[in-house]
Every structure is written in C-alpha cells, then in structure tokens.
Amino acid sequence: QVQLVESGGGLVQAGGSLRLSCAASGSTFSIRAMGWYRQAPGKQRELVATISNDGTMHYADSVKGRFTISRDNAKNIMYLQMNALKPEDTAVYYCKAVRTFDDYWGQGTQVTVSS
C-alpha cells in the first residue's frame, strides 16, 4: 500500500503563490505516476497536473503557465508550485499515486484564493 499526506495549503490573495507537497510512504517503489487533483464546492474532482516516472508532465489548460508539478524521488515527495493564483483556483487539492492495479489518494489540503 501507499500512504499520501498533503501539506502547504492555505489562504492567499489573488496573484499570490503557494507550494503544495505530497509525501508518499509505504510501497513507493511500485508507483508509476503521481498527480494533483482538485475539487471545488459543488463541482466534480478535476485533474490539475500529473507526472510519470519518466518525468512526463501533463497540465490542465486552466493552470498551464501558472502551476508546475515536480517530484523528488529520493525523498518520495511531489510538489505543486502554484503562481498567479486566481479565486477560481479555490478548492481542496488532493494528490494521487497510481500503481499498476490500484491507486491511492491523500486526504486533501484546502487552498483558498481571495479576490
């Protein structure tokens, strides 16, 4: 199994920055890819960014050019650097780890962007 713990959320003004972290533990050697997702009140959970073991990254159109996903494989930590934040980025942000036959989610961290 894999355990995921997010941190770094908080309240920030529009235009500001935050960096989220996702610490993975357990059977981390079996992880094939990781990603960040978010869920705003009353909306479905949506993909924000993903990064695979070979370093391939993918971003939602809404965050391209503003958010950067990265991984420190030695420390088993994934990051999401969020710049130029907008009120519409307000959501609970979750990290996800994907293995061959299953996947795991963290508990989420709240990001609130005030206008």
79's enclosing H/E stretch is strand 77-82
d(CA 33, CA 99): 7
Tokens describing residue 54: 């070979």
How far from the centroid of its chain's Cα atoms is residue 23's Cα? 11
Tell me the C-alpha distance between 115 and 112, whole Å: 10
* Residue 40: predicted pLDDT: 97
Contact call for residues 68 and 60 (beta carbons, < 8 A): no
Could you say which residues of the chain have pLDDT below 70? none
Handedness of CA 3, 37, 20, 28 (dihedral sign): positive
Q: Determine contact, residues 97/34, Cβ cutoff 8 Å.
A: yes
